[in-house]
Structure formats: structure tokens, C-alpha cells
Amino acid sequence: MLLVIDVGNSNIVLGVYNDAQLEYQWRISTDKQKTGDEYGMLINNLFSFREISMKDISDIIISSVVPPLIVSLIKMCQRYFNIDPMIVEPGIKTGIRIVYENPREVGADRIVNAVAAYTKYGGPCIIVDFGTATTFCAVSSDGDYLGGAIAPGISISTEALFMRAAKLPRVELIKPKNVICRNTITSMQSGIIYGFVGQVDGIIKRMKKEMEPNPIVVATGGFANFIAAESKFITKQDKFLTLDGLRLIYEKNVTNS
């Protein structure tokens, strides 16, 4: 079985594939202070709950936007799985041509998402990933990664609002029934949810003008469900897009090695 690990700024998402089938997946908090041993024990506990043995894992692939954790996770893979993991980094085969001023600047997660979206849905396409940051990525009909946009994520903006406005509380992200609300909590929820819908649709609309006609718009990430239902342009939601992209990249490199 294949273990895929996607390291984000806020969360690490892990998945176990049996061939092309995602059998299990977990989401844990990203902690740059944790050692490889700590992550090894944590993953062992997650596996034990699902009655999986670490010996069942034959290969591992990792993508990370948190460089300090790569070394810890490599050591964890070597010590607890006896595997040298595949790392998504410059030089790895993706099947995607990166049309970017400096291709090395593109985050691994954005490339992984582009590979998955193009393989699963074709091109042209736009991928919106709702994570710590909200990223927008454009892929052509030929599978070229064209670039995109990066905006503050919902959690960052919400936390900033709480921190900088003394009388505003932290709120749960729930869509209110109306945009015009009659109390502080629902007013904040309205501003956050519908404000981000406007931002997302505004950026997608402008991106579509610079692309080939009728791109498919795919949403992924932890906050996708809050926004996609209200968006005019998001046509597909794919909760496991990044995990699937890691599996696809692994397969490309094993097949072509």
C-alpha cells in the first residue's frame, strides 16, 4: 500500500491507497516542533485504530509547504517504515509543464493539485484550494500550469478580525440564512462567508477572461464546502484532490523510473 502525506501550514493530511483506491485518510495539526519520532508514534496510533500495520506500507510520497518538517518526516519514514520516501520537489516527473517565471517558486501543493485536476477533469481548468491561504491555479487544455493567485485564507482573515477588533468574538463558520443579519455573530458569519464567495467568484471571473473558454473550476481544501455551494463558478468539489495528485505523481515516477 502507498502512504501519501500532504504537509500544509495548518494541517497534515495523510492517506493510504491500495492501488488507486483511497482506503483511509486522516487530518492532523501541523507542528514544526514535533520530531520524526513523535510523528512516527502518532501515525502508528492512527494505523492501530484502523488495524493497519506499518509493514503494510510499501511506498511513501510527501509534498510539503513547510520546509522544516521535510527532514523530520524523512527520518520518520526511514526509522518507522524502513522506506526512503519520494519527495515532490523540482526534478520530479509530474507531466505538467510549469509556465512560471521561476518554476521553483510554485508550491508543491499547487503542482500536486494541478496534476490531479488535469488528470481527473481535463483542461482548461481552475483549481481553488481553500487552506491556510486560498490559492487559485490555472491549467491549460494542454496541461500547462499557467500560474494563478494567492489570497489570505478564511481562517487567517477571521482570526485577524477577532484579534484587531476588541468587541468582536471568535465565531463558528456557519452560513447564516440572510446576508442582512440582526446580531453580531450572524453578521460576522455573513461577512466572512459571503465576503469570501465574492472574492472567490471575482478572481475566478477575471482568470476566465485570461484563459481558454469554459474552464472547469474545481474546489478543494478544508473550507471548500462553505464557499462552493454559494459560488457561481465552482462546478466541482473534490475533497481528496491533493491526495489523488500525490498518488498520480508517485505512479508517474515509478512507471518512468
Q: What's 77's domain CATH number?
A: 3.30.420.40
Assess if residue 30 is contained within a domain: yes
Find all residues with CB under 8 Å of 157, minimum gap 6, and list them. Answer: 192, 196
CB 245 within 8 A of CB 115: yes
pTM of the model: 0.89
Assess if residue 159 is contained within a domain: yes
112, 9: one domain: no
The answer to whether residue 109 is catalytic is yes
- Which domain, by its residues, includes 20? 2-87
61, 155: one domain: no
65, 108: one domain: no
The set of cell numbers assigned to 95 is 507531466
83, 105: one domain: no
- pLDDT of 54 reads 93
Assess if residue 201 is contained within a domain: yes
Q: Identify the domain boundary among 87, 122, 146.
A: 87
120, 22: one domain: no
Assess if residue 251 is contained within a domain: no
113, 205: one domain: yes
116, 40: one domain: no
Report H helices in the chain. Answer: 36-49, 67-76, 108-121, 154-164, 184-209, 224-228, 241-256
Number of domains present in the structure of the chain: 2
Reduce the DSSP state of residue 45 to 3 states and report it: helix
What is the distance, to the nearest Å, from the Cα of residue 217 to the centroid of all Cα atoms in its chain?
A: 15
CB 227 within 8 A of CB 200: yes
202, 115: one domain: yes
Give the chain's length.
257
The whole-angstrom separation of Cα 8 and Cα 242 is 11
- pLDDT of 100 reads 86
- pLDDT of 220 reads 95
Q: Check 109, 129, 144, 238 and give the catalytic one.
A: 109
Residues of the chain with pLDDT under 70: 164-169, 255-257
184, 242: one domain: yes
50, 164: one domain: no
Assess if residue 92 is contained within a domain: no
Q: Identify the domain boundary among 36, 58, 87.
A: 87
Q: What is the pLDDT of residues 113-166, one digit of tens each?
A: 999 999 999 989 999 999 888 999 999 999 999 999 999 888 877 777 777 665
142, 17: one domain: no
